Amino acid sequence: MITKTTPEVGGMGHPIKRKEDARFLQGKGNYVDDVHLPGMVYGHMVRSPYAHARLKSINTEKAKQLPGVLAIITGEDLAKANLAWMPTLFFDKQMVLATGKVLFQAQEVAFVVAEDQYTAADAAELVEVEYEELPVLVDPYKATDPDAPILREDREEKSNHIFHWEVGDRAATEKDFQNAAVKATVHAISQRCHPAPLETCGCVADYNKATEKLTIYLTSQAPHAHRTLFSIVGGIPEQNIRVISPDIGGGFGNKVPIYPGYVCAVVASLTLGVPVKWIETRSENLQSTGFARDYHMTAEIAADQNGKVKALRVKTLADHGAFNAAAQPTKFPAGLFSVCTGSYDFANSFCEVDGVYTNKAPGGIAYRCSFRITEAAYLIERAIDVLAAQLKMDPAEFRRKNFIQPDQFPYKTPLGWTYDSGNYEGAMNKALEMVGYKELRKEQEEKRKKGELMGIGISSFTEAVGAGPAHTFDIAGIKMFDSAEIRVHPTGKAICRMGTKSQGQGHETTYAQIVAQELGIPASDVIIEEGDTDTAPYGLGTYASRSTPTSGAATAMAARKIRDKAKKIAAHLLECSEEDLEWETGKFFVKGAPSKSKTIQEIAFAAYTNFPEGLEAGLEAVNYYDPPNLTFPFGTYICVTDIDKGTGEIKVRRFVAVDDCGNVINPMIVEGQIHGGLTEGLAIAFMQMIGYDENGNVQGGTFMDYLIPTAVETPHWETGSTCTPSPHHPFGAKGVGESPNVGSPAAFVNSVVDALSHLGVKHIDMPITPWKVWNILKEKGVVS
């Protein structure tokens, strides 16, 4: 139970308006591109027009002669400093600037530095690169064909196969399939898409030759980890590097990897001794930085006659593009994909994933999800619907029959995860009630009689967020804890610094609410700082909805340390023993004599002016929190669609989202997170794909082709919640930021498939565009 604080204190559960919005709404945010340093110069990338080609020569003479050009760096220049390649976050390496050959369209070939960004861009056009085209591999299914071109000549293994990973009990699963009365199969593609944050990636690298200190202003979701990697790879002593992530305009996983542009800007600044800014364009962002998904998945479910599931078998092909630059810190090549048993009680399961190289941009980043969970949730929620349809069972009733039950938690899945807590039926019941499910099914029946198309799609997803724990997660060996440091000033106000980094999630508000909850210092009196490696305690950053489960927990733990010390000071001030004291939000009082009390503000003053002998002065604490487990938020989403038989247009009439992220810090911020994530899920389901033609030309490399939903396309989201606290989190919270992106694609797709199921449609791959639907309707002879 969370004690409710007053609105003035503003602890947990209060819908406080976001502190940071005052500066954002007034245009006073400070993003990397707002950084202007004296003497700053600009970098621009020369990129390959080809997807696969041998680099015959690079001639920079003409470009160098353009007035204002200061330097041009090529792969060969970097090779001299052993920097032509850099390690990726997942045991591969990636070219910084191409040497030998290029492996995807828009790959980085040379870096031009000039006095202004326009000269840099003009000079980049003057760099003459001679290419010899090579056969292009686009289809991941052909990657291991004997006649497929071998893409990575740098590797010892002359194959496009990256990894095979399997988990679960193959034999037991096989047996269940042999004995099963019913089997269902779905082949579903989680298509290549891109986080496309509002702010693209960029940096300002500022090397000071006098102090030998390198300051990097960086669009980084993980500033500390990036500093360590810059130090290890670049050989610069870590204390001489300061990474500052100022305001970040959305990340969604896109700002976890280190990109060639960052490295080139650093090299240019080290060489020239002036600050170098590099900001990528929108197309550069879409075409060359970390893509997401590209999982080609098959799920089979074995069940008995009554629709009780027995076993799940999953086989997946993962297209990683030219380099395996998956930004994921698990030990497993496919990250948390093995959470694919979802919310259901399978006795056995077996999952295998093969990764391959193709001539596409590298990545495999976790776009608003925990390392392949969106793919997993989409697959299982699609497969459950396919099986329910095959059994002619209502998809809600089918789910009810197969959910893991509340008394089974902590629940060990057959693929090895231990879910902390859940009440899946509770969330689904609430969503069904909110949407008016029974009436909608009746309406659908009526509409079908009239030939109208209406669908209802359910997704009852389970998420896994909050990486660590340290035993399973690390980045380059650095364990995935996170941190908080709280300092209470003499007047009772506080500053709190964390190892995470907000990209728009509202951390400046919610962390302050945790301090308010734990110490009774009003949230408005607490300043939150993140993103500066010279001041914040070491942490692994913000992605995978890990801030609340890790740094949020660290904040509570640090605050509790402060409370313990405050108790000693209160006992000293009240001339009693610590045992005689009781805590009530914001003050200690003597048991049985509530008027004899000291507020946290009085105690803070005493911590600097009148503290007991033998106790250190000051009131501050730091905590590094290694969570014992992930947290497992969940929910049920229901989407109602109407389909136009003339145009194939899909209209989302209703969308109900019931989320359970345990105890909530700020319900308004959580609702905002849900709205944003659902809008991204809608885009993935209906609008977005980074496609490639057979020559490896990227399609979807501009916002003309890669569609972003506006207010016009975005439906009204109806949100609700249930609350099942995490038993291992200090204040029972689970992460939430990613749930809507993880849970919603299946709800959208299930709804459209449901609308067309009576026509024999079993599955449609995303993005489900009106054109796709219209063609299906045409094929079925029902276009009006």
For residues 664 and 670, the answer to whether their CB atoms sit within 8 Å is: yes
Instruction: Please list every residue from 672 through 691 that binds ligand CDP, using CB under 6 A.
Output: 673
For residues 574 and 598, the answer to whether their CB atoms sit within 8 Å is: yes
Task: Show the binding pattern over residues 545-564: x = contacts ligand CDP (CB under 6 A), - = does not.
Answer: xxxx----------------
Q: Using CA atoms in the order 447, 449, 453, 455, what is the torsion angle rounded to 10 degrees?
A: 70
Checking phi first, is residue 205 left (phi over 0); if not, alpha (psi -120 to 50) or beta? Answer: beta
Choose one: 22-30, 382-390, 544-552, 568-576; the region binding ligand CDP (CB under 6 A): 544-552
**Tokens, residue 309:** 């599931």
Give me the least distance between CB of 408 and ligand CDP, in Å please: 23
Give me the least distance between CB of 467 and ligand CDP, in Å please: 10
Of the two residues 81 and 198, which places its CB atom closer to ligand CDP in the complex?
198
Is residue 737 close enough to count as binding ligand CDP by CB under 6 A?
Answer: yes
For residues 526 and 558, the answer to whether their CB atoms sit within 8 Å is: no
> Is the bond preceding residue 469 a cis peptide, omega within 30 degrees?
yes
Q: How many residues bind ligand CDP (CB under 6 A)?
A: 23
Is residue 373 close enough to count as binding ligand CDP by CB under 6 A?
Answer: no
Element (H or E) spanning 593, and its range?
Answer: strand 593-599
Of the two residues 261 and 737, which places its CB atom closer to ligand CDP in the complex?
737
Give me the least distance between CB of 18 and ligand CDP, in Å please: 8
Instruction: Please list every residue from 498 through 527 that binds ligand CDP, using CB under 6 A.
Output: 505-507, 510
**Tokens, residue 114:** 């000039």
**Tokens, residue 754:** 């449901």
Beta strands in 194-271 (DSSP E): 202-208, 213-218, 241-244
Rounded Cα distance between 693 and 701, Å, is 12
Q: Which residues contact 735 (CB under 8 A, 6 or more apart)?
A: 463, 465, 466, 544, 545, 546, 547, 548, 549, 631, 633, 661
Is residue 287 close enough to count as binding ligand CDP by CB under 6 A?
Answer: no
Residue 191 a catalytic site member? no
Give me the least distance between CB of 660 and ligand CDP, in Å please: 9
Is residue 733 close enough to count as binding ligand CDP by CB under 6 A?
Answer: yes
Residue 287 a catalytic site member? no
Among 329, 469, 700, 735, binds ligand CDP (CB under 6 A): 735
For residues 501 and 536, the answer to whether their CB atoms sit within 8 Å is: no
Catalytic option among 351, 369, 496, 661: 369
Distances (CA, A) of 169 to 174, 231, 350, 466: 9, 42, 5, 27
Is residue 253 close enough to count as binding ligand CDP by CB under 6 A?
Answer: no
Residue 738 a catalytic site member? yes
Of the two residues 321 and 549, which places its CB atom closer to ligand CDP in the complex?
549
Query: Facing residues of 296 across strands?
Result: 189, 317
Instruction: Please list every residue from 306 through 365 that binds ligand CDP, using CB under 6 A.
Output: none
Give me the least distance between CB of 632 and ligand CDP, in Å please: 13
Give me the least distance between CB of 417 and ligand CDP, in Å please: 19
Give me the least distance between CB of 736 and ligand CDP, in Å please: 4
Within 10 Å of residue 610's Cβ, how many Cβ atoms? 12
Of the two residues 15 and 273, which places its CB atom closer to ligand CDP in the complex?
15
Distances (CA, A) of 30 to 81, 504, 704: 33, 13, 28
Give me the least distance between CB of 659 and ligand CDP, in Å please: 9
264: helix, coil or strand? helix
Within 10 Å of residue 364's Cβ, how many Cβ atoms? 33
Residue 563 a catalytic site member? no
**CA angle, 768 then 774 then 779, to 5°:** 115
Return the closest-CA partner of residue 686 out of 783, 770, 762, 754.
770
Of the two residues 336 and 736, which places its CB atom closer to ligand CDP in the complex?
736
Of the two residues 75 and 197, which places its CB atom closer to ligand CDP in the complex?
197
Choose one: 56-64, 149-157, 177-185, 727-735; the region binding ligand CDP (CB under 6 A): 727-735
Of the two residues 506 and 635, which places its CB atom closer to ligand CDP in the complex?
506
Query: Going by DSSP bridges, is the β-strand pair 482-488/620-625 parallel, antiparallel, or unpaired?
Result: antiparallel
Catalytic option among 152, 368, 563, 654: 368
Catalytic option among 94, 191, 221, 505: 221
Instruction: Please list every residue from 638 through 667 that binds ligand CDP, using CB under 6 A.
Output: 661-666
Rounded Cα distance between 512 and 494, Å, is 9
Among 464, 736, 756, 776, binds ligand CDP (CB under 6 A): 736
Active-site residue list = 221, 368-369, 738
Task: List residues near ligand CDP by CB under 6 A.
Answer: 505-507, 510, 542, 545-548, 661-666, 669-670, 673, 733-737
